[in-house]
Amino acid sequence: MTLTITLARKVPAKAELAALAVTKETVSGAADDHLGLDWAVLNSRGFDGSIGQVQIVGGPAGPTAVLGLGEAESLSTSAFRQAGAALARAAKRHKRIGADVVDAGGDAVSKAEAAQAFAEGLELGAYTYTALKSDPEPNKLVGVTLVGAGKTITAAVAKGQAIAEGVNLARDLVNEPGGSLTPAAFARKATQVAKANKLTIKVMGLPEIKKAKLGGLLGVNRGSDQPPRFVEITYKPTGKAKGHIALVGKGVTFDSGGLSIKTGTGMMTMKCDMGGAAAVLGAVSTLSAVSPSVKVTGYIPLTDNMLGGDATRPGDVLTARNGKTIEVLNTDAEGRLILADALSLASEAKPDIIVDLATLTGACMVALGPRYAGVMGTSQDTVDAILASGGRTAERVWQLPLPPEYRSMLDSTVADVKNIGGAYGGAITAGMFLKEFVAEGQPWAHIDIAAPAFLDAPFEEHPKGGTGFGVRLLVDLIENFS
Ligand code: BES
Ligand code: MN
Ligand code: ZN
């Protein structure tokens, strides 16, 4: 947690900056309800109360950051999250700020919901990846006092901060270069997270991975000087668990494409290829704070995809954990190979549902563009739950089909299945491939986060680079599981 967020009855005198939130309606009716703000200046700067807008002007208690919440009738938690993020970005030169926003939700957004989303937004907006900068831009903001009171609001703020911390952990992991965030380094980080949050963890190294017959993971790792890891991390509720959710995350710490090598440009962002693994670890890291009454196990296969002298060759055949054989015709379709083992292992535990997250296909980016993840699966209930969670957390997800008549696109001449489909429908054929490694009858959904895991420009509460996409969605899914 980077910020100390406290509650008070009013904006304290020691705050260097006050903040308040307004809807578009407040702005257009400013003559009646002017809140003591300098509307001439606000107008001249084009402030109209749109979501995410922020302007610092003179106000009744001194300099005031005015935050836009958009239209009153479509107010949602997303507006408060974006307002928090905009404030944290705009207030970096101030040490302490006081914000009167929690009440602004009216009937649409409760005070607790507003407080949680605003606290999330503050932590998300304050995030920058500065680990490798010698002279990072200073950020003085340490404390925010929210106008509000009571246990519910206090708990909501703490929850918002815990969830944002999970998102920021995922962002850090995605932003760290592939040369330093090796599979071993990721596993060490997971071990620290487990220790700090009373989670149980099992880390398999090369010998254990061989013994467990994770042939997909071993095949992808074959061209690398870095040994693979497989992390299994578990949260157990204190009371009786009302279910068990398995989360699987693609952890390719760098994807060169292997012998089916990518282009220089295609490789530039490929440190992001463990975005699914980061989202799973980020989500699990919040659970001792959020304390849902569901057991959750994260399955995280970790390797990079390199092209050393003994790298898997196109045409090689691998045997996955569940015994199915895979003809590797393109070594750049590696994510599905390591997920094959992880989904088989997760199936063996017979959880109520399995959800995997993976930066799996460029095709999904082509289909849905930069902001949307694709979701598909064998359980429409699980897909619906994911769509509902994404709606609440403002992480955009769109369903794609898994048509049985496309299965033949994966037919191999020599093995049970090949690792690429045809020229079209690449996101779907990747999903169809994964389905082969989920036990029959096991409810499962797959979220392809290739696009939203890593952005080339800031968007809403997300910075450029690693976004931590999926962490909030997974926590919401776990909390609402029934
Ligand atoms: N990691 C990539 C997918 C990706 C692309 C993620 C762009 C984020 C941004 C994945 O391993 C990959 O290379 N997929 C191939 C599959 C193809 C060879 C069937 C792709 O999408 O081109
Ligand atoms: Mn690849
Ligand atoms: Zn990949």
Q: Are 373 and 469 in contact (CB under 8 A)?
A: yes
Q: Is the CB of 304 under 6 A from ligand 1?
A: no
Q: How many angstroms does the Cα of residue 333 sit away from the middle of ligand 1? A: 6
Nearest CA residue ID for atom 22, ligand 1: 362
Sign of the Cα pseudo-torsion (384, 288, 463, 121, in order)? positive
pLDDT for 29 equals 84
Which ligand 1 atom sits closest to the C-alpha of 359?
6
Task: Give the position of tokens 């899914």.
Answer: 477
Nearest CA residue ID for atom 17, ligand 1: 333
Active site residue 262: yes
Which domains does the chain carry?
4-149 (3.40.220.10), 164-479 (3.40.630.10)
pLDDT for 35 equals 84
Q: Is the CB of 352 under 6 A from ligand 1?
A: no
Mutate to test the pocket of ligand 1, among 174, 328, 332 (most ligand atoms within 8 A of CB): 332
Q: Among the residues of 236-349, which ranges form H helices?
A: 264-267, 275-285, 287-290, 335-348
Question: Among 111, 262, 396, 407, which one carries the catalytic annotation?
Answer: 262
Name the 3-class secondary structure at 125. Answer: helix
Q: How many angstroms does the Cα of residue 338 sit away from the middle of ligand 2? A: 11
Q: Is the CB of 273 under 6 A from ligand 1?
A: yes
pLDDT for 369 equals 97
For residue 62, how many other CB atoms are within 10 A of its CB? Answer: 12
Q: What is the pLDDT of residues 174-208, one digit of tens each?
A: 999 999 999 999 999 999 999 999 999 999 999 99
| CA atoms of 319 and 22, how far apart (whole Å) | 59
Question: Among 222, 271, 321, 336, which one carries the catalytic annotation?
Answer: 336
Q: Is the CB of 363 under 6 A from ligand 1?
A: yes
Whole-prediction pTM: 0.98
Q: Are 70 and 23 in contact (CB under 8 A)?
A: yes
Ligand nearest to the CA of 361: 1
Exposure class string for 264-285: b at 16+ Cβ within 10 A, else e:
eeeeebbbbbbbbbbbbbbbbb
What is the full per-residue pLDDT of the chain (482 aa) written as tens digits? 689 999 999 998 888 999 999 999 999 886 656 788 989 899 999 999 999 999 999 888 889 999 999 999 999 999 999 999 999 999 999 999 999 999 999 899 999 999 999 999 999 999 999 999 999 999 999 999 999 999 999 999 999 999 999 999 999 999 999 999 999 999 999 999 999 999 999 999 999 999 999 999 999 999 999 999 999 999 999 999 999 999 999 999 999 999 999 999 999 999 999 999 999 999 999 999 999 999 999 999 999 999 999 999 999 999 999 999 999 999 999 999 999 999 999 999 999 999 999 999 999 999 999 999 999 999 999 999 999 999 999 999 999 999 999 999 999 999 999 999 999 999 999 999 999 999 999 999 999 999 999 999 999 999 999 999 999 999 999 999 99
Which ligand 1 atom sits closest to the C-alpha of 255?
1
Shortest CA distance to 148 belongs to which of 97, 189, 109, 114? 114
pLDDT for 191 equals 99
